Amino acid sequence: MKYHEEIMHRRTFAIISHPDAGKTTLTEKFLLFGGAIQVAGAVKSNKIKKSATSDFMEIERQRGISVATSVMSFEYQDILINLLDTPGHKDFAEDTFRTLTAVDSVILVVDSVNGVEEQTRRLMEVCRMRDTPVIVFINKMDRDGKNRFDLLEEIEKELSISLHPMTWPINSGKDFKGVYNLYDKNIRLFTANTKADEEDTLAISDIDDPILDTRLGSPDAALLREDVELVDGVNGELNVADYLAARVSPVFFGSAINNFGVKEMLDTFIRIAPPPQSRDTSTRKVDVEEEKLSGFIFKIHANLDPKHRDRIAFFRVCSGKFERNKYFHHVRLDKDVRFSNPYSFMARDKSIIQDAYAGDVVGLFDTGNFKIGDTLTEGEDFYFTGIPSFSPEIFKEVINKDPMKTKQLEKGLLQLTDEGVAQLFTQFGGTKKIVGCVGELQFEVIQYRLLHEYGASVEFRALPFYKACWLTSKDSKKLEDFGKFKQVNTGEDKDGNMVYLAQSEWFLNTEMTNNPDIEFHFSSEIHKSA
Ligand code: G4P
Q: What is the CATH number of the domain that holds 486?
A: 3.30.70.3280
Domain boundary among 219, 240, 272: 272
Domain boundary among 257, 272, 287: 272
In a mutational test of the pocket of ligand 1, which residue from 110, 257, 260 has the highest number of ligand atoms less than 8 Å from its CB?
257
In a domain, 341, yes or no: yes
Q: Are residues 261 and 343 in the same domain?
A: no
pLDDT number for residue 231:
87
In a mutational test of the pocket of ligand 1, which residue from 15, 17, 20 has the highest number of ligand atoms less than 8 Å from its CB?
20
Q: Are residues 61 and 174 in the same domain?
A: yes
User: Has 433 been labeled as part of a binding site?
Assistant: no
* Residues whose beta carbon lies within 6 Å of some atom of ligand 1: 17, 19-25, 45, 47, 88, 139-140, 142-143, 255-258
Q: Are 45 and 51 in contact (CB under 8 A)?
A: no
Give the structural domain span for 230.
2-272
User: Has 381 been labeled as part of a binding site?
Assistant: no
Q: Looking at residues 423-451, what average pLDDT do you find?
A: 86
Distance 140 CA to ligand 1 centre (A): 9
Distance 337 CA to ligand 1 centre (A): 43
In a domain, 384, yes or no: no
In a domain, 383, yes or no: no
Q: Are residues 203 and 348 in the same domain?
A: no
User: Has 89 been labeled as part of a binding site?
Assistant: yes
Higher pLDDT, 274 or 171: 274
Domain total of the chain: 3
In a domain, 325, yes or no: yes
Nearest CA to ligand 1 atom 22: 140
Residue 174 has a CB neighbour count (10 Å cut-off) of: 8
Q: Are residues 97 and 220 in the same domain?
A: yes
User: Has 388 been labeled as part of a binding site?
Assistant: no
In a mutational test of the pocket of ligand 1, which residue from 16, 25, 51, 108 has the highest number of ligand atoms less than 8 Å from its CB?
25
Q: Looking at residues 501-507, what average pLDDT do you find?
A: 94
Q: What is the pTM of this model?
A: 0.86
User: Has 139 been labeled as part of a binding site?
Assistant: yes
Element (H, E) at 213: helix 211-216
Percent of the chain residues past pLDDT 90, beyond the cut: 52
In a domain, 387, yes or no: no
Distance 346 CA to ligand 1 centre (A): 24
User: Has 510 been labeled as part of a binding site?
Assistant: no
Which of 345-359, 417-431, 441-455, 457-471 is predicted most confidently? 457-471
120-137: pLDDT as tens digits: 888 898 898 889 999 999
pLDDT at 54 over 50: no
* Burial (0-12, 13-18, 19+ Cβ within 10 Å), 416: buried
Distance 48 CA to ligand 1 centre (A): 14
In a domain, 200, yes or no: yes
pLDDT number for residue 494:
86
Give phi and psi for 176, each to the nearest 5. Answer: -65, 120
CATH classification of the domain holding 335: 3.40.50.300
Q: Are residues 295 and 250 in the same domain?
A: no
Three-class SS of residue 61?
helix
Distance 261 CA to ligand 1 centre (A): 16
pLDDT at 46 over 70: no
Q: Are 39 and 80 in contact (CB under 8 A)?
A: no
Q: Are residues 181 and 303 in the same domain?
A: no
Distance 137 CA to ligand 1 centre (A): 14
Q: pLDDT class for 236, splitting at 50, 70, 90?
A: confident
pLDDT at 171 over 70: yes
Q: Are residues 83 and 133 in the same domain?
A: yes
Q: Are residues 467 and 507 in the same domain?
A: yes
Residue 109 Cα: closest atom of ligand 1: 3
Q: Are residues 512 and 453 in the same domain?
A: yes
Domain boundary among 324, 349, 377: 377
User: Has 23 been labeled as part of a binding site?
Assistant: yes
Q: Are residues 341 and 250 in the same domain?
A: no
Q: Are residues 291 and 266 in the same domain?
A: no
pLDDT number for residue 391:
85
251-308: pLDDT as tens digits: 999 999 988 899 889 999 999 999 999 999 999 999 999 999 999 999 888 765 666 6
Q: Are residues 77 and 29 in the same domain?
A: yes
In a domain, 388, yes or no: no
323-382: pLDDT as tens digits: 999 999 999 999 999 999 898 865 456 688 899 999 999 999 888 889 889 999 999 999
Three-class SS of residue 14?
strand
Distance CA 379, CA 161 (A): 40
What single-letter DSSP state applies at residue 415? H
In a domain, 401, yes or no: yes
For residues 44, 48, 51 and 57, what is the CA-based torsion angle, rounded to 10 degrees? 90
pLDDT number for residue 193:
63
Residue 142 has a CB neighbour count (10 Å cut-off) of: 20
Q: How many helices (H) and strands (E) does the chain have?
A: 14, 33
pLDDT number for residue 188:
85
Q: Looking at residues 235-264, what average pLDDT do you find?
A: 92
Distance CA 527, CA 98 (A): 13
Q: Are 422 and 435 in contact (CB under 8 A)?
A: yes
Distance CA 225, CA 462 (A): 59
pLDDT at 509 over 80: yes
385-412: pLDDT as tens digits: 887 777 888 999 999 999 999 999 999 9
